[in-house]
């Protein structure tokens, strides 16, 4: 997301490219005397003063970015997926709190850099969102006044013929009858299609357009795609049914996260931003507040009610799309309540192998890990915590994604603030439950409750100072682990 610069310090990818003029500044000029060999003899005068580039504070929360990176990598490794992306958004401000993609790359080591790893999949790759569209189709039904959450739909026998097409349900309902919440919980294509036939495809298209699908997010990220939201002159049954359960359209991960932020924000849309906001932006009502709150309660049952995808406290829906024939991808969309902000998280995995796990089972577990106690989004501006930032001045190398975990290289940047958590929660392979308060790379700054990471750096090798940290810690816990390849 941050991107990198070329040898001339010009932005070539990501935010470095999008804000190149803002970050670059203006180089100065000096009049000097040189001999015929080009050696400096005398510095005469300054012809033009240099102007420093302006700082740019990103909205990314470093702790959430680290956890999102770790959990996405673990999920892809467990299921053998080739690629994935994860987005977290603060629905009150529109700030993107975390955005990670895999495969990724280390900008400090480009020896084996693959062009595909440089792509910000969350904003560039489009896909069919599948069943994650059902809550928006359901909102159109509720807004029409023709349907209420307790209304019943007969989904027996689990399939529905429309001309030469057959719509099928994966999860069979007991008795063959579901209410509207049950349709979301069982992810019933048949039930959703029957509701769509009653309200019409135009109303479903309208609500999807209002929440931002098929439109530019306004982030200004280079290469961002808008996807496709089809609008038909005549809405036949086949087009109406497929749109209601998320087929026949294409979206990006960031668009889907933005759409769900409307549900989480009681029907109000807030402009998205990758830059930290100084004040709360103005929101626009695109959905009835009672409808949005009703849907929040329905989505909460998807994961909390018996038969839900995972017993985690959040509001969520799951989906799966077909891609390249036999291979598919899974998505999990969750809305999480926090004390100081309300983020919406969107996780997507591409091209999993033949054993087809449903989109929500493992994705809901990754969401639970991201929402662990003590790891919550930063509070509003002015709280004293330092945001992720990109700062570029003439004569200095531009920000290229160094220190991706936000731990720094020593001094004040050598400590990473954490909410207190047990060691075995931060590092699953540890057996100790001792409470960890901070991470540090500087052995001179180790204090009780710190976790010292001995890693080789650009100037110092932290492994040579393990003894110093050992003597400073009243309760040492040795652990050796090979660093993962990123």
Q: 469: burial class by Cβ within 10 Å (0-12, 13-18, 19+)?
A: buried
Cα separation, 160 vs 241, in Å, equals 10
**273 and 94 Cβ atoms separated by less than 8 Å:** yes
Q: List Cβ neighbours of 301 (8 Å cut-off, separation of 6 or more).
A: 181, 184, 185, 308
DSSP single-letter state for residue 175: G
Phi then psi dihedrals of residue 295, to 5 deg: -65, -35
How is residue 425 written in tokens?
């929660």
CA distances from 367 to 60, 63, 298 (A): 18, 15, 18
Q: Which of 147, 160, 141 is nearest to 206 (CA)?
A: 141
Q: List Cβ neighbours of 312 (8 Å cut-off, separation of 6 or more).
A: 303, 304, 334, 364, 365, 367, 368, 371
CA distances from 179 to 64, 147, 152, 194 (A): 36, 10, 4, 12
Q: List Cβ neighbours of 15 (8 Å cut-off, separation of 6 or more).
A: 1, 2, 3, 56, 58, 221, 274, 390
Residue 157, preceding bond cis, omega within 30 degrees?
yes
How is residue 320 written in tokens?
């799966």
User: Is 203 labeled as catalytic in the residue annotation?
Assistant: no
Q: 271: burial class by Cβ within 10 Å (0-12, 13-18, 19+)?
A: middle
Residue 105, preceding bond cis, omega within 30 degrees?
no
Residue that is written with structure tokens 């990176």 in the block: 69
The one catalytic residue in 59, 85, 131, 139 is 131
* Region of 288 on the Ramachandran plot (φ > 0 left; ψ -120 to 50 alpha; else beta): beta
Cα separation, 460 vs 18, in Å, equals 34
Q: 133: burial class by Cβ within 10 Å (0-12, 13-18, 19+)?
A: buried
Residues involved in catalysis: 131
């Amino acid at each position: 997301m941050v991107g990198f610069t070329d040898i001339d310090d010009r932005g070539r990818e990501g935010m470095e490219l999008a804000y190149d003029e803002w970050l670059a500044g203006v180089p100065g000029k000096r009049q000097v005397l040189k001999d015929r060999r080009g050696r400096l003899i005398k510095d005469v005068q300054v012809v033009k003063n240099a102007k420093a580039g302006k700082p740019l504070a990103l909205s990314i929360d470093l702790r959430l970015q680290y956890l999102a990176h770790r959990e996405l990598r673990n999920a892809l490794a467990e299921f053998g997926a080739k690629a994935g992306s994860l987005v977290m958004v603060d629905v009150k401000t529109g700030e993107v709190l975390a955005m990670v993609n895999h495969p990724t790359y280390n900008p400090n080591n480009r020896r084996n850099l693959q062009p595909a790893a440089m792509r910000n999949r969350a904003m560039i790759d489009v896909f069919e969102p599948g069943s994650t569209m059902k809550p928006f189709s359901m909102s159109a039904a509720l807004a029409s006044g023709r349907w209420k959450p307790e209304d019943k739909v007969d989904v027996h026998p689990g399939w529905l013929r429309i001309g030469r097409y057959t719509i099928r349900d994966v999860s069979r309902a007991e008795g063959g009858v579901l209410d509207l919440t049950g349709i979301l919980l069982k992810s019933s294509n048949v039930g959703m299609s029957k509701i769509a036939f009653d309200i019409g495809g135009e109303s479903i298209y309208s609500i999807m357009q209002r929440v931002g699908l098929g439109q530019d997010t306004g982030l200004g990220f280079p290469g961002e795609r808008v996807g496709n939201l089809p609008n038909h002159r005549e809405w036949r049954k086949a087009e109406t049914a497929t749109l209601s359960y998320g087929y026949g359209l294409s979206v990006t991960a960031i668009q889907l996260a933005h759409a769900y932020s409307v549900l989480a924000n009681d029907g109000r849309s807030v402009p998205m931003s990758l830059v930290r906001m100084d004040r709360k932006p103005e929101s626009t009502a695109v959905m009835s507040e009672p409808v949005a709150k009703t849907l929040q309660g329905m989505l909460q049952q998807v994961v909390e009610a018996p038969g839900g995808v995972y017993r985690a406290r959040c509001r969520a829906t799951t989906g799966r799309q077909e891609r390249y024939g036999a291979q598919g991808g899974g998505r999990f969309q969750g809305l999480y309540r926090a004390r100081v902000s309300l983020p919406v998280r969107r996780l997507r995995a591409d091209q999993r192998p033949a054993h087809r796990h449903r989109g929500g089972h493992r994705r809901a577990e990754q969401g639970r890990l991201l929402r662990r106690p003590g790891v919550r989004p930063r509070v509003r501006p002015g709280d004293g915590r330092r945001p992720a930032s990109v700062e570029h001045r003439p004569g200095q190398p531009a920000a290229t994604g160094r220190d991706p975990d936000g731990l720094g290289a020593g001094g004040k940047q050598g400590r990473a603030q954490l909410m207190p958590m047990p060691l075995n929660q931060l590092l699953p392979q540890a057996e100790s439950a001792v409470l960890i308060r901070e991470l540090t790379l500087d052995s001179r700054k180790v204090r009780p409750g710190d976790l010292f990471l001995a890693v080789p750096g650009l100037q110092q090798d932290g492994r040579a100072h393990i003894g110093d940290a050992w003597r400073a810690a009243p309760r040492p816990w040795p652990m050796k682990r090979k660093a993962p390849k990123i």
